[in-house]
Chain A
Amino acid sequence: QLQMVESGGGVVQPGRSLRLSCAASGFTFSRYAMHWVRQAPGKGLEWVAIISYDGSTTFYTDSVKGRFTISRDTSKSTLYLHMNSLRTEDTALYYCARDEGYYESTGYVDSWGQGTLVIVSS
């Protein structure tokens, strides 16, 4: 069945870098846009980034532009989030999520992983 498993979270000092991974299975990864969505402890959802099905197009929320990079490796059915210059306010559970649209993104999320926790603290 459809599954997305995130990894790579942990405790990191402010200003450092981290790379999150999301291994997808149970669907044709190369035909769907993918998102990262985060949730700070006890807070609401915040959309982070999207990458098109073919990796040619990306969009980011303003607070991570220039610091985070979303990418994908179709041969490994894996989504990545490279996070640089981390700040304390980046502390959150990071969800990997599949766009609802087939090939063309709809901007809605129809499937989610269980998340990986990133804690930015000195």
Chain B
Amino acid sequence: EIVLTQTPATLSLSPGARATLSCRASQSVTSYLAWYQQKPGQAPRLLIYDASHRATGIPARFSGNGSGTDFTLTISSLEPEDFAVYYCQQRNNWPLTFGGGTKVDIK
């Protein structure tokens, strides 16, 4: 199965700062990668699909980039509601797999 490694495990930033999250795949997933946001006590929410396409209703401050094995999620200016855990997920091969997550917390 494809292993997705997310770095860093925790990112401590202030509101208004730029956040850059990384997801590396153990083999190419072409552009078939998504990003999800999960807040405490809530189900995840789809942010980005196919590496760079924002899902419906997702603000423009969220952007995704990458292809092959290396991907990034960028939050251009952190809003208070953006402090959460972020997961990447690939759909290039079965089984579908998620990364271990990056927690973005308030510095």
Contact = CB atoms under 8 A, between A and B. Distances in A.
Specify which of A47, A100, A108 lies most central, judged by the most chain B CB atoms within 10 Å of its CB. A108
Contacts of A9: none
Interface string B85-107: 00101010011111111000000
Interface residues of B, number: 23
Nearest to A95: B43
A45 B44 contact: yes
B94 A45 contact: no
Contact of A100 (B49, B94, B97, B98): B49
Interface stretch (A69-77, A78-86, A111-119): A111-119
Nearest to B91: A107
Interface of B: 1, 32, 34, 36, 38, 43-46, 49, 55-56, 87, 89, 91, 94-101
